[in-house]
Amino acid sequence: MPSRLKRLLIGRPMKSTELELEKLSKLKALAVLSSDALSSVAYGTEQILIVLVTAGFAAIWYSIPISLAVLGLLLILILSYRQTIFSYPAGGGAYIVAKDNLGVSTGLLAGGSLLVDYILTVAVSSSAGTDAITSAFPALHDDRVLIALTMILFLTIMNLRGITESASVLAIPVYLFVIAIFVLIVSGVFKYITGGIHAEVPEIGTAVSNVSLFLLLKAFSSGCSALTGVEAVSNAIPNFRPPAERNAAATLVMMGTILGTMFIGISLLAYWYGIKPDPENTVVSQIAAATFGRGILYYAVQGVTALILFLAANTAYSAFPLLAFMLAKDKYMPNAFMIRGDRLGFSNGIIFLGIFSAILVTAFDGHTENLIPLYAVGVFIPFTLSQLGMMVRWLKLKTSGWVFRFAINTIGMLTTLAITLIFIFTKFNQVWTVFVFLPIVILLFFQIHRHYMNIASELRINMQQDKPVIKGSTIVVPVAGITRVVMNSLSYAKSLTENVVAVYVGFDDDDIERMEKKWEEWNPGVRLITLRSSYRSIIRPIMKFIETVEWKTAETDHITVLIPQFITKHWWHYILHNQTSLLLRAYLFNQKDVVIATVPYHLQR
């Protein structure tokens, strides 16, 4: 049953050779990897305006230069990540680049930061998508956690089904969103030019007395939250069809162009239309209402915006399992993250991401807004480290034209570092937890690594000297009576060695005497040892007996304990049998250095 359900949800298992077919074309990659970045358009401009409007309506003209600055930063990031893609065609996330050039600890800092961040992305996006739904249908407000969890479950299953298949389903909303926003921008600009909008807006350059540098920096850093998700492409190069790095670079540039155009378009329209941020009505919604009126086009824009916010989480589903795979390959995360599942995705990473984001959503009761700054810091730390790593790389390699490339990465590094610091200084009370979590995560990485290294050295053998050695063998068979099961076990034991001893635990002298007599009568050719238990426990006397056997023969013999076990026809029949054998097995396994052989007895009825 469970396996049939799995088949239904996830699909048939796929051969390893089908992996190539699972790889992404540029257009599909754009859909899978850019939903996080593109969805930022839905709130980027608004984040800037919210900060500026605290200094009065006159200050909103600053949104234009700030948007241009964000656009400049986007350009720098795209250029520098393009360089990374070609330098690390096997997949160059911040983890690889930082580890390669700045050392393991820095790499783990970048990697850990991103891993935590992907979990936050899923939690925040699914909550934001839920908000969009419950704004439209207020009756659902009490079920917000349930809705968010359902979406996480849906994304998890889609991603377990495999990359291509989920891309096919999930690409449509991304394309629809891009089309909707472009139609909005073109119509909006057309309406503005033809004089259809009559809003009074402060002119660019107007002096505003209470605008401080701190405020502008805060507005800028808020706007930079629109850039999260840009790194996804460079992490996911192995998912591209060959030539992977070319396709990845092209996809990155495509994404940057679309994102930049949409972002600046929305910012311009917001300024021209004189839009004030309103908690009840998003900036995009106001623009759409002013452009189209509250008709079918307006609701179309709102609908796809809600969808894309949901799907932003999907980027994390592509990036997290790959990053976890890389960390696991380097032995900083459990091996389990290296296994490809039935559908060739890294199932354990996908499931882990789903579970932890679901926990976050539940713990925060669906109100994950406070996690947004944390999430931005979690992106800009690896951004900075990755650029710094590239700088070191150019200095080391000095390939032709390295000075120009070094310059790009230096500018990138300085800007992203600045933004990280601005985030930390302007929103410390919301981001301090990062300084608690990251060290713990990195410590865990190191502990896992040490464990794997220790074990590897413990298990290593010298192929010339270490060979299997033949010893004697003693087999202990605990018996509870004289039955077919005991007969089978003794047959098995006697087939392997002459040293077989049966052991029986009795609760009183009569009991023991009766058993000894019956055994003599049966005469199976195996010696019976009887033990008396004062405490009605079967386990303890047997454990003690095995200690004695170990003490006598461990030097010369392998000791095997034979445990017969019923296999019932129906699972619920198990409750009808005392699970002493399971208990004995668990005790022996944890406390003794003996081989435990389970002799199955399949019950026919």
Options 182, 364, 507, 587; binder of a copy of itself; rule CB under 8 A: 507
Rounded-to-integer distance, Cα 116 and Cα 320, Å: 9
4 touches a copy of itself (CB under 8 A):
no
| Closest distance of CB 327 from a copy of itself, Å | 13
Segment contacting a copy of itself by CB under 8 A, of 66-74, 88-96, 128-136, 457-465: 457-465
Look up residue 154 and give its two tokens.
Answer: 């849906």
Three-class secondary structure of residue 271 per DSSP: helix
Segment contacting a copy of itself by CB under 8 A, of 171-179, 191-199, 354-362, 560-568: 560-568
How many C-beta atoms surround the C-beta of residue 200 within 10 A? 6
Options 151, 431, 490, 503; binder of a copy of itself; rule CB under 8 A: 490
Options 417, 501, 539, 596; binder of a copy of itself; rule CB under 8 A: 596
Segment contacting a copy of itself by CB under 8 A, of 27-35, 165-173, 292-300, 565-573: 565-573
Parallel, antiparallel, or unpaired: how do β-strands 557-567 and 595-602 relate? parallel
CA atoms within 13 A on the CB side of 422: 21
Decide whether 436 or 461 has the Cβ nearer to a copy of itself: 461
How many C-beta atoms surround the C-beta of residue 299 within 10 A? 13
Span 459-478, contacts to a copy of itself by CB under 8 A: 459-461, 463, 466-473
Span 266-305, contacts to a copy of itself by CB under 8 A: none
Rounded-to-integer distance, Cα 385 and Cα 455, Å: 32
Decide whether 165 or 511 has the Cβ nearer to a copy of itself: 511
11 touches a copy of itself (CB under 8 A):
no
Q: Which amino acid is at 211?
A: V
Q: Which amino acid is at 279?
A: P
Span 313-352, contacts to a copy of itself by CB under 8 A: 334-336, 339-340, 342
The distance of Cα 571 from the centroid of its chain, to the nearest Å, equals 34
Options 122, 236, 259, 594; binder of a copy of itself; rule CB under 8 A: 594
Q: Which residues pair with 565 in a beta bridge?
A: 600
Decide whether 199 or 339 has the Cβ nearer to a copy of itself: 339
**Whether the Cβ atoms of residue 101 and residue 390 lie closer than 8 Å to each other:** yes
Rounded-to-integer distance, Cα 239 and Cα 20, Å: 9
Interface map 146-175 toward a copy of itself (x if CB under 8 A)? ------------------------------
**What's the start-to-end Cα distance of the chain, in Å?**
21
Three-class secondary structure of residue 343 per DSSP: coil
Rounded-to-integer distance, Cα 130 and Cα 190, Å: 33
Size of the site for a copy of itself (CB under 8 A): 79
**Whether the Cβ atoms of residue 75 and residue 228 lie closer than 8 Å to each other:** no
558 touches a copy of itself (CB under 8 A):
yes
Decide whether 195 or 525 has the Cβ nearer to a copy of itself: 525
243 touches a copy of itself (CB under 8 A):
no
| Closest distance of CB 499 from a copy of itself, Å | 11
Span 508-537, contacts to a copy of itself by CB under 8 A: 508, 518, 521-526, 534-537
